[in-house]
Amino acid sequence: MRYDIEGGGGPQNQLLHRKVPLKNKSIFSGALFQYLEENKKWRNRFLFIPDSYNINYYENKQAHDRGLHPKGTINCAGYRVLTSMEEYLELLNTSLPGVKAKVGSSPFLKCATQFPLILWHPYARHYYFCVVTEKEQQKWNAVFQDCVRHTNNGLPEECKVQTPAFTDAVRLYRQAHGHYGTWEMMCGTPPQILANLVMETLLPEMRDLITPKLKGKMYERQRNWMLISDAVYGLVQSQTQAQYEAVVQSCEAGRPPLETTIRTDMDQIITSKEHVTSKIRTLVLPKAEKLLKVSIQPYISSILDALMEPTSRGFFEVRDLFFRELVDMSKNLLNDDNKEKLGEHMEKISMLAFHPVKMQSCYEKVETLSLEGLQQRFDVSSPSVFVQRAQILMREQMDDAVYTFEQLLHQSLEGQEQEDFCKTIQRCQDRVIKKFDYDSSTVRKKFFREALLQIFIPYMLKQLTPSCSELPRFQELIFEDFSRFILVENISEEVVLHTVMKDIMMAVKEAAVQRRHNLYRDSIVLTNSDPNLHLLGENPPIDWAEEYGGGQEELDGENTGDPEVQKRRRMKQVVSMIQIEGNASVLPNESCLEVPAVDNIPEEKTEVRSDTSLSQKMRSLSPPWASLLTEAFLITTVAVSAAMAGKTRLIKLIYG
């Protein structure tokens, strides 16, 4: 609210931003094989991925076209995409202590083909797919990666109050339990994040309770553990969903009077905060500066280089891809210079940023980012947090460039019967490239600053917390009426942040001078450099196919009475369907391949002896893990209840 009142902000973006980029679009659809755990068979499935990036799978394409409900939906938040059984076994072996398969042993399950695609999650169920050719595997892998990337992209920045309040509450909760630094499971919706927070504490307790009771072969124990973890995770999610929604409603009801109080007393609140800040700064600043000099400053430049090299290569590739696509369009229009062909090409280019296969070359450049040697020192769980954030920014920059080009080209063609399209495209392209260079520089510098803060601030707080035990006494300096708005812990963190921010800003500024990174200096500020262009951003979306004569395809069953089915079938797909090339051995269309159980996977350690009577009892049941799952729920009820009680306190903390 103070920011809203006092104003502020950085350089203005030069490119336009599309408000609803995927309206009436779907990402991808196609057929592949899915492994059914209940009967150990591979079944042909039709997958449809809408603009929500959830993966819907159907019995077949006809079921989708008729508007039937999918057999299942996968929300990819927190998942990882694996393309080999070796990768999967390595992750699986970490799930249960003392239950490990030897490297190179028999596979966990027998794939119908040699091109698997596995969705792995630390708590939820795993999904197994496979395809016929390597080209299919690469395309599906790119699509699945994009689904994971989108759902892991954090909370919406439009929520100026809820998002910072929620993320700060989660961060403070984890810090109170000794977990500083980045967190890979800060992904999905707030209820999903809260469920991940519960499972972070609950899972080790569940292992201690349940592992001694797991009997049978290694494969059976691992499979039963996955079923138990998935069931408990679903239970936790349902509870966090209900509690979170109730708290949000309560907070929204109490927000108007609170906002009125803050706006009325804003001057006094700011004065009181600045008084307390001066006192806390006297205590914290000397310790923070000493820690900064000894443990932070020597590493700033090396970490910044590690971040900048792959990120800059990724943004260069985005620029080149955009340029290549426009050059290809110009070449194709040389022989067929008419608006109908232009509309067809622009229809494809308009969705370039959301084409995961074409964008894959850009994303791969950033995946080389490595913080090896620095992760343990600064408690960075994995560079994947920064990789995915950089990839999302690259996609946004690509879409901004494409959308700006669309608007400029459309404006140039208005009212003109015939013109040399190649020259018009060239003029618009040059104009957009210059704006892209400036905006990508601004975006990258902001990303570098935020990434460095994410690495250093948790480390500094962890080191300074034991020596700042006197902080609670400063609460007495705050008027009781303002105690809900001024928090001593937040002020202390602000002091630490400002301490290290000066060095980070200086390091990024020095890096901008180096020509190899293609960054603009901070002194170059383009404000309102192209006001006429920003007026175009208010125009409605351009339907190139309709406006420039692109024929609309005939739809089978157009006369069906269900408007939802008609809408679904009219949706244009960003990624084209896979065409099987060559003489690949295509599996039967409706195949149901039975896969025998794997009983002979050798283990590293001797197996836990099974209780004979219990094993016989389990084998007599159908399915064999039913009694085990029931027993596990009884065992974990107390642990879940205790964890959820702590979760209630966390949710109450979210909005102060």
Residue 144 pLDDT > 90:
yes
For 356, residues 6+ apart whose C-beta sits below 8 A from its C-beta are 27, 28, 142, 143, 145, 146, 575
User: pTM of the predicted model, to two decimals?
Assistant: 0.83
Please give the average per-residue pLDDT across 597-602, as a whole number.
41
- Burial class from Cβ neighbours inside 10 Å (0-12, 13-18, 19+) for residue 104 reads exposed
Residue 556 pLDDT > 50:
no
Please give the average per-residue pLDDT across 628-647, as a whole number.
47
Please give the average per-residue pLDDT across 342-351, as a whole number.
87
Higher pLDDT, 554 or 454: 454
Distance CA 618, CA 611 (A): 11
Q: Tell me, what's the pLDDT at 33?
A: 94
pLDDT tens by residue, 283-314: 999 999 999 999 999 999 889 999 999 999 99
Q: Are strands 41-49 and 592-594 parallel, antiparallel or unpaired?
A: antiparallel
Q: Tell me, what's the pLDDT at 635?
A: 44
Residue 346 phi, psi dihedral angles, 5° rounding? -65, -30
Q: Are strands 41-49 and 28-36 parallel, antiparallel or unpaired?
A: antiparallel
- pLDDT confidence bin for 570, thresholds 50/70/90: low
- pLDDT confidence bin for 134, thresholds 50/70/90: very high
Q: Tell me, what's the pLDDT at 44?
A: 93
pLDDT tens by residue, 489-514: 889 999 999 999 999 999 988 887 77
Backbone CA torsion sign across 640, 645, 646, 652: positive
Please give the average per-residue pLDDT across 46-64, as a whole number.
93
Contact yes or no for 459/180 (Cβ under 8 A) = yes
Please give the mean pLDDT across all residues of the chain.
80
Q: Tell me, what's the pLDDT at 555?
A: 42
If one counts every other C-beta atom within 10 angstroms of the C-beta of residue 45, the result is: 21
Please give the average per-residue pLDDT across 325-352, as a whole number.
84
Q: Tell me, what's the pLDDT at 323?
A: 95
Q: Tell me, what's the pLDDT at 611?
A: 40
Higher pLDDT, 143 or 334: 143
Please give the average per-residue pLDDT across 472-479, as a whole number.
84
Q: Are strands 572-573 and 80-82 parallel, antiparallel or unpaired?
A: unpaired
> In the chain, where are the structural domains located?
299-471
- Burial class from Cβ neighbours inside 10 Å (0-12, 13-18, 19+) for residue 26 reads middle
Q: How far is CA 127 from CA 81, 90, 235, 601, 642, in A?
A: 10, 16, 19, 21, 30
